[in-house]
Copies of this chain bind each other. A is one copy, B any other.
């Protein structure tokens, strides 16, 4: 957040800043979503929907999941939420009691631990490694179970690393959670943005997993605050009550837009192919420029660079990079309080031309250091 604020300040002051610190697409919602909203402005009064969301949208999401993954969960297990933020709050409140601890692979999205703490729960950090594609191992999950934790959060593709877990390994993790009596919350908000192989849903290997998803990333609708949960049938009534009391309902206009977004897949695939080009460009250009320890990320729009050869304080390094060449990045400490001092997250959600220019500036800058 500090880098973001400083980057915006410099931009307002007239500097030419390249934003590789942001966690959101530069594009608006797809045209079909926006057209649906324009139409709704004339035709709907947009009062509250049901707490679980517009029935039509729940059905559309269930159909999308079936088409995409071949899983048939049915609309009754879909809960439309005010973004994945609400999804995490609802999932945690539904399965945890005060003081419970919950396993979070580290590095990971910092709001997981902050949400848990704000609600009276305890984050239990699990150190992962680049060699293991930043995913927990079966042994990690067994140790988590033995520690008395209530569950595991798994994010694939992961933020900040962009790495994924799939196939036999995902299956093994899901089965280990089940064996250890751990809730599995699967953060799938970067699904749709993968470049080597398709992301797999935890639902393929677990009936009791809670899946968190969102229209923010692949659907390019961050500010709309609309997402969804897939929950086991036994939890729907609990989640409905929580949603009714804590949110009343997700924003109606955003649900209407989300319905339209499913008609904008061509446009979204175009955006994704831009991310793919940006990713290739950076993976080609950065290592020779001196940012050599970048794991080829499988998905999302992030690279997680190991900068230990360049600095032992990635926050100061990011500040210097912003100050000296106008490239904003995110220091790893936001995602991994200790080891993050040696890492930098670079987002490639921006324009191709900007990514090219960023690579050029970084190369020239590293030569002088």
- Listed in ascending order, the chain A residues whose CB lies under 8 Å from chain B are 1, 24-29, 34-35, 37-38, 41-42, 44-49, 82-83, 85-86, 89, 93, 98, 111, 114-115, 118-120, 221-225, 241-242, 244-254, 257
Contact = CB atoms under 8 A, between A and B. Distances in A.
A82 B251 CA distance: 9
A111 B118 CA distance: 19
A246 B48 contact: no
Nearest to A243: B85
Contacts of A247: 82-83, 85-86, 225
A244 B89 contact: no
Contact of A24 (B29, B48, B98): B48
A246 B27 CA distance: 24
Greatest chain B CB density within 10 A among A26, A34, A47, A120 is at A47
Contact of A118 (B223, B245, B254): B245
Given A24-B48, A82-B247, A82-B251, 4 more contacts: A46-B223, A89-B246, A98-B120, A222-B248
Contact of A225 (B29, B118, B244, B248): B248
Contact of A114 (B38, B46, B245): B245
A22 to B, nearest CB: 8
14 contacts: A26-B45, A37-B37, A37-B41, A83-B248, A85-B245, A86-B247, A98-B120, A111-B244, A114-B241, A119-B119, A222-B248, A223-B251, A225-B250, A253-B257
Greatest chain B CB density within 10 A among A35, A115, A118 is at A118
Contacts of A42: 34
A37 B85 contact: no
Contacts of A82: 82, 225, 247, 251
B115 A253 contact: no
A115 B245 contact: yes
Nearest to A42: B34
A232 to B, nearest CB: 19
Given A37-B253, A253-B37, A254-B253, A46 B246 contact: no
A48 B222 contact: yes
